[in-house]
Amino acid sequence: MQEVLGILEFRKLINRTMKQYKIIGLSSLLVFLISCNVNKKTIVTIQHIPDSKYNQKIVDAKRDILYGAFPIAIEKYEEIIKSDSNHATAHYELAKIYLKNQEYEKATFHSKRAFDSNSSNIWYAHIYAQSLDLKGDIEGSSKMYEYMLENWNNDVELWYEYFRFLDRYEKYTLLNKYLDLFEKKFGFSDEIIINRYQSFVKKGKYKNIEKYLLNVLSADIKNEFANLILADFYSSTRKIDKALEIYDRLLSYNSNNEQALLGKIKIFLQRNDIQSVMTIASKIIENTRIELNLKLGIISELSQAFEKVKGFNIKKFDEFIVSLYKQYPENPDIIQFYGNTEYRNGNSKLAISLFLKSLNIKPSNLQTWLFTLYILEREKEFNRIVSVADSALIYFPNQKDLFLLRGFGYLQTEELQKSYDDFIFALKITGKLDKDRIQILHYLAEVTYKMKRKEEAFKFYDEILENDQNDIVALNNYAYYLSIEGLHLEKALEMSGKTIKKEPKNSTYLDTYAYILFRLERYSDALKYIELAILNGGTNSGVILEHYGDILFKNGKIDLAVSTWKEAKERGENSKILDLKIERKEFIHE
């Protein structure tokens, strides 16, 4: 089986501070965007007072909307407007309907009439803004926002809406102008700090980043968020000493500052300063006042580093894992790390037990299911592969890899129909360009041949070779099965020849080539290649040894053939035909 699972990369910690790292322009579900050819200096606040006699009709129209009768509601609003062309509520409600129907021209017309009739109503301004934005008048939208902020400048969410709008349309100069105004009015906030940072990054003004963050810190040196962003910026721009200085400052305020500790560890890992890494990590792991999430974050960082960093202290790392397991014996993530440690140290059975314990607590971790199955496959515990895959499929009923692994388990336990069904299902949910598709076809070719459905098996091999005529495994297996069946032997010899040309010391491929020559009754040539197979490790295979005996017999070396058949039996090749060969001292065709 192709080893595509590998060693798992365990879950990275999502830390507390990074929850705030959101770009304002990406987080809005509904952004009121306004576009109009209105100059904010010429807008005059006006208000039309609608006649109360239309109130009941407004209520009736809203009831129609509630029941989905939009055409009836539209008709009622239009009746009101026919009598009172400046009825703001009717225009506003029509604008909402047309927005919903994506009729932006009509929505813009009615939202403008609503706003013109009552420009002191923020909702009318919003609907007008939204309509114009969707119609594409960005410049007018921006001016309308400026008008709204002049009139409702204490509405913090309104400021955020404008920030989202400017960010979405990449109006970074204007965005920074209004961010400045916001900070002068409301002071610094974490959301605005990260927005300023992101806007500078998008504009490529990296010098402004440091200047801005230092300005924030000049007003509040203890601002944790600004400190962390600046330290991260210094770290990414290789100003490591400055980053360390900030982390140390934060730790002077709070010795358990999680992000500062994690930041220092990352820097020391970059420097290959393993001793400093382990010193900090040890203090964190053993400190009961520090939250588990940070400890998991440290372990995650270290688990990714130990294969890359020279001189990494794996023994100390394993001690951290054991210590955490003693502190949190029921935490599924800690159990998983401990299982990984035991597997790396060669204790596969204990690792499997730990992974299954973790999955019993947290069955939603697909990677742990797959890794467990991968270990079971390596341990050749094929019955357990089937049972564990059954459990995993309860939570992931359409996961291709689980069907592949269970199908492989069924194949090894000779439950061929079940194996075939799993592989066929995996093939159905695999795209034509998926790299696993060819592997599935290999499995299907093997299982159908074992089911004595040789024509179907050969079709699968044909499909594989149509995709890649140099697929060496398909060439060998296809050629070997043809030789067993005595079919298309010249074609089989040609395919097998490609394999030994590519891998001239592969005993399996040499054996296939020799056996095809044997079936073609070219016995002296067959002896030459089967002896090459034996010289290249073929003595470890009962099948190759039996073939060697067959070829020796046809070359007149009867006694050597019989002793070779006996050796094949000792190597685990058991069949009635082999027993008869040994007993009768003659070749018997299967």
Mean pLDDT over each residue of the chain, to the nearest integer: 85
75 φ/ψ sector (left φ>0, alpha ψ -120 to 50, else beta):
alpha
Name which of 3-17, 220-234, 319-333, 371-385 the model is least confident about: 3-17
Instruction: Pick the more confident residue, 204 or 428.
Output: 428
Mean pLDDT score, 4-28: 27
Instruction: Pick the more confident residue, 360 or 277.
Output: 360
Name which of 108-112, 195-199, 390-394, 573-577 the model is least confident about: 195-199
Mean pLDDT score, 413-440: 93
Indicate if the pLDDT at residue 218 is higher than 50. yes
pLDDT tens for 495-536 read: 999 999 999 999 999 999 999 999 999 999 999 999 999 999
- Confidence grade of residue 21 (pLDDT, cut at 50, 70, 90): very low
Mean pLDDT score, 298-314: 78
- Confidence grade of residue 52 (pLDDT, cut at 50, 70, 90): low
Instruction: Pick the more confident residue, 46 or 114.
Output: 114
Helix (H, G, I), strand (E, B) or coil at 308: coil
DSSP-derived letter for residue 41 is G
| Residue 561 to residue 571: CA distance in whole angstroms | 15
Helix and strand numbers, DSSP H then E, in the chain: 31, 0
Mean pLDDT score, 91-95: 90
pLDDT tens for 413-424 read: 999 999 999 999
Mean pLDDT score, 551-557: 95
Mean pLDDT score, 226-241: 88
CB 108 within 8 A of CB 144: no
Q: What is residue 213's predicted lDDT score, i.e. its pLDDT?
A: 86
Q: Where are the alpha helices (DSSP H) in 399-488?
A: 400-412, 416-428, 436-450, 454-467, 472-485
Indicate if the pLDDT at residue 82 is higher than 70. yes
Indicate if the pLDDT at residue 229 is higher than 70. yes
CB 341 within 8 A of CB 305: no
| Residue 199 to residue 168: CA distance in whole angstroms | 11
Q: Is the pTM of this model over 0.75?
A: no
| Residue 553 to residue 564: CA distance in whole angstroms | 10
Instruction: Pick the more confident residue, 151 or 190.
Output: 151
